[in-house]
Amino acid sequence: MRAKPTGLRAIVRALAVVTAAAGATVLMTWPVARQATDHLVVPRDFIGKGLLPTSPDTYLHLWILAWVHHALTRWPTRLFDASIMYPAHNALAGSEHMLAHWPLYAPVSALSGNPVLAYQWILLSSFVLNAVALWILVRRWTESAPAAAVGAFVYAFVPLRFDLIGTVQHLNVAYLPALVLFADAYRRDGRGRDLVGVACATAVQALCSYYLAYATVVALGVLCAAVALGGGERPWRRAGALGAAGIVGLVPLAAVSGPYLALRAAALVPTYPVVWLRRAAARPGWLVQPGLPIFAGHLPLALALVGVVAARLSRWRRGVALAIAAVGFVLALGPVVSVFGVDVPLPYGVLYAAVPGFSALRYPYRFGTLLALGLAVLAGAGWGRLVGERRLRWPLTAVALAAIALEYWQAPLAMVAVETGDAVPAVYRWLADHGDGRPVLEWPVAPPGDMRAGYQESRAMYFQTYHWQPLVNGYTAYEPPSHAVVSLLAQRLPDRASARDLLDLTGVRLLLLHRDRLDPDARERWNAWLAGGDCERLVESGPDVLCGLPPPVSDLRARLVAADARVPDATFRSLPLAPLEPDGRRGTLALASPRTAMAAGLVQRIRLQASNRSVAPWPGLAPLVPGVVTIRHRFERDGDAAGDWVATPLLCDVPPGGACNAVLPVTAPLAPGAYVLAIDLAQEDGPPLALEDGPLRVPVEVVAFGGARGAR
């Protein structure tokens, strides 16, 4: 056994390890470090790729890190009441909180004032921390620096990291090796301080993201089972103490999970069906297929095999590494795997049914992070067994690292420029100085379901980090019902009636209009609005106009927010959501902006006017709940329905003889061809309304994306 380095030698070695990890990170993620102040990484794959410059999730996660810093340094008790989707409460709970990243994020953000740089620091440092943590684990277990170098490289740069590079909260998994190290030390020596280490590693890793929290719990389960079955002194008692320490470590996560549990109770976080999970799970062959998320690399797999059969590891340590890798691989396969055409159920299905919250996890393949941990330990140990104390062990290790780097190589990563510093539009700097806490709406607002909506909304959130005024816009994984109402109403601007409802429901006082994003039809309407005196022009910079809006007539914010927690029995203007009698269900429906061509798979906006020709008022200003009057639409082809009816709340309380100007978001079918778009009115969970001229039937030609010019 080698003597441990002490004093200056230990410091030099630690600095060398960190420097090597940082250098490898710069090379493997190039050019992120060179462009860290004003560029973001474009994920390898995301919904909307080819249509959007980058994933809206990247801006969302950048905003979350910035908001957490902003909230914790000013009013920690309001952490979850994030100032997006105003006036909704607990908006942060629609996504991850990423609390464990804050200690690393805070100093860079405070010193630079640059949210992009601080975000990139979290991204790059995760690779370095992963490498250093795995180095320490394998170095302790094998006493071989070359083994530690190979294991650290595999763990830091396995392709799964690059697949998840757009979800930065999943990248830092440095605390899993620490958990294994402390658990092993406690198994061996039974010291209380190692249980403290287990609790701390569990707490920090779980606070990185909920996916990693579940992976941490699984790793704890494997470690407890290994301690119980591994012999030694009082194994079952020590396994119980280890499990108890892990439970203590989960207490901080439980303490901040109340808002998420409230979303689950309100059924706003869906349970993903098995059919979805099968599509989002890995396949066994992915392990050896380059370009797929859990590709392990052929050389690392070969080295891991050597590690399993011949590494100089104790039987317990080897078994733990193999068990973690195997469990991670099996979970990554999801609830079912097909073997020669036969579906074989897997343990994921048991966890899905039995563990609270597990059914809300969307992507089983992300459990590949446990596979990466076990694989890295075994590959490092296998390499240590092969090179031993050979004189050329470091030159050989350099060759091995280069070979693994070639298998894992993905640089140069795609980057997208982001406005920072003086490049931030002047209107946002004005808001920072003069916003005075007034809620802001940015327009245009893309229709719900449109892939462009998330990108535009998340970009507005990014710019909010420069002014922090309450923002009516917003984007997150699980949005509250109130935001759907607000977004649909915002589509109708500058319609006066819709503007009045929007003002009363949200209290919005400032409107930021981006005139360079308007289509010709919208430009004409907005120019008339700007000329009509409804906009108090506060600042104008290039295409951007910031308008002051009049105060609301009625404050309906509490009613809007209440709809996030319970199903309302009346509209926001107190009209009962009761079934209409036959003489209250007569009306007309007219197109204001017909569309003869639509792009396949994209969302188009159809402008309509619904008129109430009956004797009773129509309850329409409410979310999509029973009793609300809705606009329904579906596509038909060759006389047959090409889909189910899709209902959208009318969002107007329409008195007898009155009319409502609505905007209907319609998603075109994926298959090009000739269709008929059928549109009518109905009460949700009730009968259709009797239209004087019958339902609208609009011939539509659905063309391949790019062929519907001006169809937006």
For 580-596, what is each residue's pLDDT tens digit? 999 999 999 999 876 67
Considering the domain architecture, whether residues 544 and 620 belong to the same structural domain is answered as: no
Q: Which pair of structure tokens corresponds to residue 705?
A: 């994306």
pLDDT at 707 (0 to 100): 42
What per-residue confidence (pLDDT) applies to 388?
87
Those residues with Cβ within 8 angstroms of residue 592's Cβ, 6 or more apart along the chain or in another chain: 607, 608, 609, 661
Does 417 map to a domain? no
Distance CA 164, CA 162 (A): 5
Burial class (CB in 10 A: 0-12, 13-18, 19+), 533: exposed
**Tally of CB atoms within 10 A around 597:** 15
Same domain for 404 and 429, yes or no, is: no
**Which amino acid is it at 293?**
P
Judge whether 600 lies within some domain. Answer: yes
Q: What is the mean pLDDT of residues 602-621?
A: 94
The last residue of one of the domains, among 356, 386, 408, is 408
Quick: pLDDT tens for 441-456: 999 998 888 888 899 9
Pair (168, 237) in one structural domain: yes
> Considering the domain boundaries, does residue 71 fall inside one?
no
- Cα separation of 658 and 614, whole Å? 10
User: Same domain, yes or no, for 371 and 492?
Assistant: no
Q: Are 270 and 332 in contact (CB under 8 A)?
A: no
Residues 317 and 445 in one domain: no
Residues 152 and 270 in one domain: yes
Assigned domain for 478 exists: yes
- 532 and 622 co-located in one domain: no
Is residue 176 domain-shared with residue 288, that is, in the same domain?
A: yes
Looking at 529, 561, 593, the residue that finishes a domain is: 561
Looking at the fold, whether 643 and 494 belong to one and the same domain comes out as no
* Same domain, yes or no: 432 and 314: no
Q: Which two tokens stand for residue 138?
A: 């394998």
Q: What is the pLDDT of residues 30-81, one digit of tens each?
A: 999 999 999 999 999 888 888 899 999 999 999 999 999 999 999 889 999 9
Q: What pLDDT band is residue 2 in, cutting at 50, 70 and 90?
A: low
3-class DSSP state of 411: coil
CATH number of the domain to which 609 belongs: 2.60.40.770
Left, alpha or beta for 229 (phi > 0: left; psi -120 to 50: alpha)? alpha
* pLDDT for the residue 704: 87
In this prediction, residues 411-423 reach a mean pLDDT of 96
Please report whether residue 531 resides in a domain: yes
Quote the CA–CA distance of 442 and 452 in Å, as a whole number: 14
d(CA 323, CA 341): 27
pTM exceeds cut of 0.85: yes
- The verdict on residue 595 lying in a domain is yes
CB–CB of 617/591 below 8 Å? Answer: no
CB 95 within 8 A of CB 362: no
* DSSP codes joined into one string, 76-91: GGGTTS-SSSTT-S-G
Q: Which of 258-262, 342-346, 409-413 is most confident?
A: 409-413
Q: Which domain, by its residues, includes 591?
A: 578-703
Q: What is the pLDDT of residue 348?
A: 93
**DSSP assignment letter at 689:** P
Confidence tier at 708 by pLDDT (50, 70, 90): very low
In this structure, are 501 and 589 located in the same domain? no
Which comes out higher in pLDDT, residue 39 or 519?
39
E strand map for 549-672: 586-591, 597-599, 603-612, 629-637, 640-641, 646-649, 659-667
Number of domains in the chain: 3
Residue 3: what pLDDT? 56
pLDDT of residue 712: 30
Residue with tokens 């317990």: 316
Split at pLDDT 50, 70, 90, the class of 209 is very high
CB atoms < 10 A from the CB of 280, how many?
A: 14
65 domain residue, yes or no: no
Same domain for 402 and 461? no
Does the residue 42 lie in any domain? Answer: no
Q: Which of 561, 593, 613 is the last residue of a domain?
A: 561
